[in-house]
Amino acid sequence: MTHIPYGMVGGGPGAFIGDVHRKAIQMDGLATLRAGSFSRDSEKSKAHGRALGIESDRLYSDYRQMAQQESERSDGIKFVVVVTPNSTHYEICRAFLKKGIHVVCDKPLTFTVEESEELERLSREQDLLFGVTYTYTGYPAVKEMRRMVSDGLLGKIRFVNGEYAQQWLANPVDESSPLAPWRTDPTVSGTSNCLGDIGSHVENLVATITGLRIERVCARLDSLVEGRTLDDNVSVMVDYVGGAKGLYWTSQIAFGYDNMLSIRIFGEKGSLAWCQEDPDHFTFTPNGAPKQIFSRGRDTFAPEAQRYNRIPAGHPEGVYEAFANIYKSFVEALAKRLDGKRLVEEDLDFPSVSEGLDGVRFIERCVESSKNGSVWVDMH
């Protein structure tokens, strides 16, 4: 087992999500954190990095310097994890791609479609792996549902209902809170809040499981809490290529819901339903038969889902394990590549820069629809 060296940009002191990424990577012990630019404040970056066991000369205050120097070292990092504010994803990812370093970046990938398109182009030209951490696609149940759809168990898909309900922004955010700019300042969050943050998860999860491509959208972005600038509740009617229809609802004002990402898929031959808060189970209702509850580990999943199973049925796996699965796929693919082997499609079992681009385009089109009075807007 080789331990692939990796670096991180962002994820400094107090940055919760950086710690989640590190623990997720650490879970399978396939990659080791060897370099980092954790904060623009040089002292903070160094102190944080040392506490993480990184050697001083590989702690950087400037990500450009990090990309440069790590690309020159014989023991340099093989991939970088970008967990900075969304507004900076583009330039950071670009810098590492240009130096030939593989990338994993948080979602949403960039502010604009053009930026994501350029990252996609760059990664293709440089022949580099580029993962985007749509966490929820890492659940074994999601993999199994994708397999079932792909195997035709639902027949042609007719309708998809996707929801993502949270309550954590149901009250006005204190202006003095460090989170406030994320929720009120478009220069930090981009053109949307609720849509960009959680709506893109719905878009990505539906696409991952069903393979459906969106043809056009009609969206309404609401700001329902008094005094809020950005959206906190979003409805989207979706037409997919090929005739299927969809309806998405995402909300951050939904008292009673913590993180209720729920996907229901209806086809000619049956339906699937899954909810992120109970990730080990999903239901399958075949035409003319009772609803069945599938349980990760108990009911044999096909090999492409089964390989992500970590512990027997009934021992809950959670979001850390889903996160770890994304990295497991990415790092194993990278290891194979570094061994000089050719990657096949099933190796690339993680959300890529293309999915990242799709997400940014979805956000952009929905914002456009809503700004023009909730009219229909074509995706392409």
Q: Which residues from 50-69 bind its own copies, rule CB under 8 A?
A: 51
Binding mask 230-259 for its own copies (x = CB under 8 A): ---x-x-x-------x-x-x-x-xxxxxxx
CA 232 to centroid of chain Cα atoms: 19
Least Cα distance to 257 among 156, 194, 167 occurs for: 167
Report the site for its own copies in 104-133 (rule: CB under 8 A): none
Quick check: 193 binds its own copies (CB under 8 A)?
Answer: no
Tell whether the torsion through CA atoms of 68, 74, 80 and 84 is positive or negative.
Answer: negative
Residues 195-234 interacting with its own copies (rule: CB under 8 A): 218, 220, 222, 224-225, 233
Q: Which of 73, 121, 124, 298 binds its own copies (CB under 8 A)?
A: 298
Given candidates 85, 159, 352, 354, which one binds its own copies under the rule CB under 8 A? 159
CA 365 to chain centre: 19
Q: Which of 2, 229, 292, 372 binds its own copies (CB under 8 A)?
A: 292
Contacts with its own copies in 256-285 (CB under 8 A)?
256-260, 264, 266-267, 270-271, 273, 276-280, 283-285
Neighbours of 18 (CB within 10 A): 23
SS3 for 124? helix
Report if residue 371 touches its own copies, rule: CB under 8 A.
no
Between the CA of residue 16 and those of 41, 102, 196, what are the distances in Å?
Answer: 17, 23, 19
Q: Which of residues 1-20 bind its own copies (CB under 8 A)?
A: 1, 20
In what helix (H) or strand (E) does residue 23 lie, and over which residues does it extend? helix 16-27
Structure-token pair, residue 379: 């995706």
Q: How far is the CB of 378 from its own copies (least distance, A)?
A: 13
370 touches its own copies by CB under 8 A:
no
CA-only gyration radius of the chain, Å: 21
Say whether residue 307 binds its own copies (CB under 8 A): no
* Amino acid identity at 118: E
Q: Does 306 bind its own copies (CB under 8 A)?
A: no
